[in-house]
Structure formats: structure tokens, C-alpha cells
Structure 1
Amino acid sequence: MKTDSLGIVEARNKLGVLVSRAVHGHQPTTISRSEDERAVLISEEEYEELLRLREEREIGRVREAIASRERGEMRMHRYESAAQLYSDYGLPVPGDRS
């Protein structure tokens, strides 16, 4: 699928047309603010489909992890608290302002 690419100023000036193309023509547009800051304008329908596919992929991973554990191929680690889990992964605890 071909994706048009526009700078942010040009995209702002054509936003109505770009939204119509995304919704009715299923044509995504890449919008660039800089080389490192890019986003893609897609229809809500396509966005919801991406979320559904992501959820299905994650469910598959969880199911495979459970099956792996049941086959004895994976050792489970039990955490006594969410803070311990976050700490183990080097992540800040949600809501912790320290």
C-alpha cells in the first residue's frame, strides 16, 4: 500500500482532504514534523483493526506461555507485590512520585 508523506504544515493545510482519504479511500498519510517525529493518519476503522490484531497477538503469546509452563518448559516467578515486579524490570511504579 502506497503511503503519501507530507510535512506537518502541508498536512495541516490539507487535513480535511487527508481525513476523507483515510476514511473513505483507506489511504494512510505519513505526517512528518522532523526526521525523528512521524505519525500516520489512518481511519478509525483501521486503527481499531490494528488494536484487535495486537490484542490477538498478545493473547497468543499468553496462551503459548501457559502451554510452555504446563509442558514444564518455563519456570514461573512469583512476585509478592506490583512494586517488586516493576523494580525487577527497572520500571517506575505507577503513581510513585519518588
Structure 2
Amino acid sequence: MTTDSLGIVEARKKLGVLVSRAVHGHRPTRISRSEDERAVLISEEEYEELLRFRREREASQVREAMAAHERGELRMHRYESRDDLHADFGLPAPGDRS
């Protein structure tokens, strides 16, 4: 599968065509705004498939961690609240916009 790469200005001019290619031709397009800001335009069907694969992988990792814990290979920590969990990882509390 080939992936076209376009700058954001050019992609904006061709957006309808790019969406059709993504949906009907399953051809993704890389879109760059700058060196650090890049995205890929894909069909919703392909996006949903990627999400499904991600969920399956994460579920597999959780199952493996639980099995490792049961075998005594992994120590798990229990948090009393979501705020404690977020604080431990240095994340803002749920609902905070910080």
C-alpha cells in the first residue's frame, strides 16, 4: 500500500478527493502541517479496526499482568482513589484541565 504525503494547504484543496480515496480505495494520506505536526487521513472503517486492535492488545497485556501476578512474578499496587492513581503517575486529576 502506498501512502501519499501532502502539505496541509495542498491537502485542504483536495480534501474531498482524499476522503474518497481513503474510504473507497483504502489509500491513506499523510498530511504535514510542520515537521512536528503530522497526521494520517484514513477511512472510518480502518480507524475502527485500529481501535479494535489496540483494545485487544491492551486486554491481552492486562490478562498477562494478572497471570504474572497470580504466579507471584508481579506485585500490584492498589489505589484508594482515582486521584491517588493520577497523582502517583503525575497526571492531572479527572476533570482538571491542567
> Cα offset for 1:83?
1.1
Which residue identity is paired with 1:3?
T
Match of 1:78 in 2: 78
Task: Please give the residue correspondences for 1:44-63 in structure 2 after superposition, counting only pairs within 5 Å.
Answer: 44-63=44-63
1:57 partner amino acid:
R
In the other structure, the counterpart of 2:87 is 87
Is 1:21 equivalent to 2:24 in the alignment?
no
Q: Distance in 2 between matches of 1:20 and 1:78?
A: 48
Closer, same or farther in 2 for the Cα pair 1:82/1:8, shift >3 Å? same
Partners of 1:77 and 1:19 lie apart in 2 by: 46
What letter matches 1:22 in structure 2? A
How many angstroms apart in 1 are the aligned matches of 2:76 and 2:34? 43
Residue 84 of structure 1: how far off its partner (Å): 1.1
Cα pair distance change 1:30/1:62, threshold 3 Å:
same
> So what's the TM-score if we normalise by structure 1?
0.94
* C-alpha distance in structure 2 between counterparts of 1:14 and 1:37, whole Å: 19
Q: CA deviation at 1:97?
A: 6.4
Query: Any unmatched runs of 5+ in structure 1?
Result: none
Superposed CA RMSD: 1.3
SS for the counterpart of 2:31 is: strand
Deviant stretches of 4+, over 4 Å: none
SS at match of 1:5: strand
- Identity among equivalent positions (%) equals 80
Aligned length: 98
- Distance in 1 of aligned mates of 2:83 and 2:34: 37
